[in-house]
Structure 1
Amino acid sequence: MPRLAQCYGTADYEDAARRRLPRPLFDYICGAADDEKTAAANVASFDRYDLVPRYMTDVTRVNAATRVLGCDLEWPLILAPTGMSRMFHPDGEQGVAIAAADAGCGYALSTMATASIEEIGAISAGPKIYQLYLLADDALNFASIDRCKAAGFDALCLTVDTIVAGNRERDLRSGLTVPPRLTPASLASFAKRPGWCLGYLGGGKFSLPNVTASGEGDLSTLAAFFASKMESHISWERIAKIAAYWGGPFAIKGLQCGDDALRAADAGASAVIISNHGGRQLDGGAATIDLVADIADAAGDRVEVILDGGIRRGSHIVKALAMGARACMTGRPYLYALSAFGAAGVERWLGGMKQETLRTLALIGCPSLADLGREHVRLAGAAPAFLANEAEARDFERPGPALRHA
């Protein structure tokens, strides 16, 4: 297994996590729904867009600061909500939240976290967002919101794309349970990873403290949780009720079309998070980067647009912002860093991503995000100007979505 000092890009951390985690847990992080095509497209589709440098600008100092969901960020990244981080490393959500605050980016805590709202509120001085899965009982939803207010969270994020659980066949094959248990199917995999076993067994009781006061630690599988607690009908009226009860910056996560972005604004949303749950719910949907330009155009200045999905490089963040996003979210990469090296891994990975983002802005001639726009990105393989004939231009272009304002 590589040492932390040997890890530079996200792929290095993914490789290190593969070497440390039992196979069922690694598959839980990197796996997705059905044939996993949407998850792969989220990453690969960034290659459909080229950055266009504009030189002869002063980039002696590059400032990537932005404001989103009422939070001031030193650079435009929010660590996406991911459940049960202590399954992967004892540092869990606490270590991730502290690393995010130190790096000047945002952190979103999941309903299904293994750290409580109160714990994260107490240890993190950085921008904090709570991600709410809507439960059937509004009393439970409002109780969670009250806890967020008391703990000093800055924004609320409602996830709407989990009305039923996605079909994740890797988890079905591995027999992964939550919390992990030794079974005949998993015993060999766990035995090959003694470092993970020692950390997990010494990490204290496994619970989900944001689901109920007791944590409901006896839930045997993720599917059982969804079946027993999740709301399968989410209406715009219900969303407006949640937004009004919260009364602060509010995002809806999981939207994928411009019409829904406008309806989100009508329901009280401050931001929409373009997300397909990392391809873990519906397979066969669009890559999220391909949706940014159209949704940003539709939303105008009514709601902020945040991209979630496929971020692996700082250049990906810059491409998304050039196309109209205000900030980006990512989940798997920091889980790889956490799984392999704990909070220290997340800290180093964030430092690398921040430097990549600043370097990319400098290399395309943008000293600040205010200088970044559609002129800095184009569809890869788009016909050059010398192809005046429209038919020739169509033949030249690669298949892929067109940018209206590229």
Structure 2
Amino acid sequence: MNNAYSIADLRSRAQRRLPRVVFDYIDGAADQEITATQNVRAFAEIALLPHMLRPTPDCDTGVEIFSDRLAMPVLVTPTGFTGIVWPRGEAAVARAASAAGSVMVVSAASSLSMEEIAQSSPGPKWFQQFIYKDRGVTLDLAARAEAAGYKALVVTVDVPAPGKRFRDLRNGFTVPPSLTISSGLDMMRRFGWLRQMASQPRISFPNFEGYGSSGLLDIGEWLNGLIDPTVQWRDLEWLRQHWSGPLVIKGIMHPDDARLAIEVGVDAVMVSNHGGRQLDTEPATVEVLPRIVEAVDDRVPVIVDGGIRRGSDVLKCLALGARCCLIGRPYLWGLGAGGEAGVTRVFDILKDELARALAHGGWNSINQVSRRDIALRQAFPWPAGFDSEATSQGKQQGGAA
């Protein structure tokens, strides 16, 4: 793994090791994948403005969120069915995140139970779920997460219907599966992956076993039926009344929704377009981030995911007012390339790149970076008055921790 010098290197290794159907599942996005591509490209429209002759003997990459001090402002975003990439994949990711001083946000659709993942490593963890049609399942999952020691509950709100991902459809990676002969032969050629998969128990959705379904296909179809397109703000307010810890809303792309979320009582707003895996042609998350930060107005932390591939991308998000960032595909590529060691390498790369960016820019800590330290290109639809004098990040984010 030490010979992987960038996130792109790990992606290439994962692509060589994994069957196409698996790689496309973690790498792909909805429809024409325009949003997923723009998430990455948008960072090129933001330039860092370094300061010279500022000593930076030690660059502090640490951040505090919900009273936990993290070694770096990079968290693991929730992804389902991770066990198909590496045996007991969620446990490997949890150990790597804990060792890196980060936080893993565990998906309700994980291939290990939330309880097993919680016990697999020390360190804080958050649990992600939806507000399901069956409100009893919704409350039961939240209660289990609290009992297992999860610090925060992350409620995803941007999936009123399943996304349409052409790569998965072409590969037959559907529920129920309809794998092609080509996909089957490709799996057979990936001997390393196949051997590892054969050594682990069957992959399923254990968090939902016991709710009337047991088999993988049954649970998959049942989960699709749990998606509730009628969820409203009052439903989030209802869940707020039943969860005593920090509540995070994931999937906010409009400033008006950020304001409504705060009125409902959330403790953090997560700017996310689901990595472009749901609605294609949405704007990049970093494009809307400044508007969300302005709407939140320091009342709660703002977190962002989507397109982060370098430590400098992280720094740009912080300069725009985010408290911290999340990564999805990068850690899945690392997992696919080398299991826990690959995920550890992802954190090492991003932390090293972030620290070097701070040093080159003359910033001793991430709290010193502000809007004054970035140049915005004309192609970007920034808010009116955005180039005016801005406060430091520390003041911008003086809301609840």
Shared fold, TM over 0.5: yes
Query: Where does the alignment leave 5 or more consecutive residues of structure 1 unmatched?
Result: 381-397
Q: Which residue of 1 aligns with 2:393?
A: none
- The 10-residue stretch of structure 1 (68-77 or 82-91) with the greater mean CA deviation from structure 2: 68-77
- Return the letter of the residue paired with 1:130: F
> Match for 1:405 among 381, 386, 392?
386
Give 3-state SS (helix, strand or coil) of 2:69's partner: strand
1:292 partnered with 2:289? yes
Secondary structure at the counterpart of residue 210 of structure 1: helix
Q: Distance in 2 between matches of 1:324 and 1:109?
A: 25
Q: Partner amino acid for 1:161?
A: D
**Cα distance in 1 between the residues matched to 2:134 and 2:256:** 28
TM-score (norm: length of structure 1): 0.91
Report the counterpart of residue 150 of structure 2 in structure 1: 153
Distance 1:105 1:179, change over 3 A: farther
For 1:11-30, list aligned pairs within 5 A: 11-30=8-27
Under a length normalisation based on structure 2, what TM-score does the superposition of the two structures give?
0.92
Match of 1:304 among 301, 304, 308: 301
CA–CA separation in structure 1 for the residues paired with 2:219 and 2:379 = 38
Distance in 2, matches of 1:119 and 1:223, equals 20
Per-residue deviation at 1:302?
Answer: 1.6
The separation in 2 between residues aligned to 1:292 and 1:154, in whole angstroms, is 25
Over 3 Å counting, the alpha-carbon distance change for 1:292 and 1:182 in structure 2 is closer
Find the counterpart in structure 2 of residue 50 from structure 1: 47
Matching residue of 1:168: 165
How much has 1:402 moved relative to structure 2? 2.6
Query: Does the CA contact (< 8 Å) of 2:205 and 2:219 recur in 1?
Result: no
Q: Count residues with an aligned counterpart.
A: 386
Instruction: Please tell me whether the aligned partners of residues 290 and 382 of structure 2 are also in contact (alpha carbons under 8 angstroms).
Output: no
Quote the Cα distance in structure 2 between the aligned partners of 1:12 and 1:196: 19
Distance 1:301 1:246, change over 3 A: same
2:379 partner letter: P
Asked whether the 8 Å contact 1:207–1:216 carries over to 2, the reply is no
Report Cα offsets for 1:197-223 as digits up to 9, x if no partner: 111111112121112337945343997
State how far apart, in whole Å, the 2-side matches of 1:350 and 1:56 are: 29
Is 2:236 the partner of 1:234?
no
Deviations 1:240-287 (CA, angstroms, capped at 9, x unpaired)? 111221111111000101111111011111111110000000001100
CA contact (8 A) 1:87 1:180 kept: no
| Equivalent residue, structure 2, for 1:218 | 215
The amino acid that maps onto 2:339 is: G
Corresponding residue SS for 2:282: coil
Code of the residue aligned with 2:351 in structure 1: it is K
Q: Give the secondary-structure state (helix, strand or coil) at the position aligned to 1:55.
A: coil
Q: Hey, what does 1:389 align to over in structure 2?
A: none
SS at match of 1:220: helix
SS of structure 1 residue aligned to 2:381: coil
2:140 partner letter:
A
Alignment of 1:319-338 (within 5 A): 319-338=316-335
Identity %: 39
Q: Does 1:274 align with 2:271?
A: yes
- Post-superposition offset of 1:399: 2.3
1:127 matched residue in structure 2: 124
Q: 1:215 to 1:339 in 2, by over 3 A?
A: farther
Aligned pairs for 1:2-401 (under 5 A) are 4-177=1-174, 184-213=181-210, 216=213, 218-220=215-217, 224-380=221-377, 398-401=378-381
Q: Distance between the aligned counterparts of 1:178 and 1:18, measured in 2? A: 23
User: What's the offset of the Cα at 1:236?
Assistant: 0.7
* Structure 2 partner of 1:392: none
1:94-123 CA-to-partner distances (Å, cap 9, x unmatched) read: 010010010011110001001111112212
**Quick one: distance in 2 between partners of 1:361 and 1:95?**
29
Q: Specify every segment of 5 or more residues in structure 2 that has no aligned partner in the other structure, as ranges.
A: 388-401
Q: What SS does structure 2 have at the residue aligned with 1:140? A: helix
- Following TM superposition, by how much is the alpha carbon of 1:161 offset from its aligned partner in structure 2, in angstroms? 0.6
Paired residues of 1:161 and 1:254 also in contact (CA < 8 A): yes
Task: Give the residue type in structure 1 aligned to 2:17.
Answer: R
